[in-house]
Amino acid sequence: MAAKEKTGNAIVETIKTIVYALLIAGVFRTLFFQPFWIPSGSMKETLLIGDFLFVNKMAYGYSYASCPSIIAPRFGIEMDAKDICGVFDGDNSRLFASEPERGDVVVFRHPVSGRDYIKRLIGLPGDKVQISRGVISINGTAVKLRDDGVFEETMERQGPQGMRPRCENGAIGQGGVCKKSRQIETLPNGVEHAILNIGNQASDNTGIYTVPDGHYFFMGDNRDNSADSRLAQQAGGVGFVPFENLIGRADRIMFSSGGRSMLFFWTWRSDRFFKAIK
């Protein structure tokens, strides 16, 4: 009997340890830092497919979107942040709120799909934003741009989804060099970052977007390969993003893998480990 009791107690203690660990991890992820893998190339070259980072959830305070969404269709898991914290949704406010700054790289919930997106903050509430021939104007003044060479990458499948890059130098065969024009963009507050361009397309020429109060305008750094605020939510874009949908700020890349799996150590990008995000 004594042996059975010890075995039973050991099992109970193991279960308790697992439950406590999950609770602590859940609280940590909800209040402080949320892990995020970069799944697409919309933020190249600032962020590459396979970059892994922690999102600073303390940066802008807390809202319903601060609760984690756990979505894993492969395992039949569809737990949305609204399922846990939906009671706090609707008033577009935050607890311990702090305003984001233009140029921040932000993770936010898509206003319609609820999926997590990561883009750069371009337009603040009240701003008038327009893109003409690929150049952003904010409140009637064009941002500063300077040419900065060419961004090159190998034409190959990238990340778990096996995406292929788009190239400015036309159709490139497997293993070829895919090129995009690279420029340095300077926003009105002095924030500088690299942007990439492939060619002239509809999203390079837009009307004037007036950012509503309590909302923000986002764009990807890979300008011709980003579904962002230039496209309305109903058309598959992001549209204007409410303040309460912000999850946090991306500050630093912790790890990066260029392969289909993080276990493929030969595809690790050691030069991106602990790299600051600008």
Q: Please give the positions annotated as active site.
A: 42, 119
Tell me the C-alpha distance between 181 and 178, whole Å.
Answer: 11
Other Cβ atoms within 10 Å of 274 Cβ, number? 8
Residues 195 and 136 sit within 8 Å (Cβ to Cβ): no
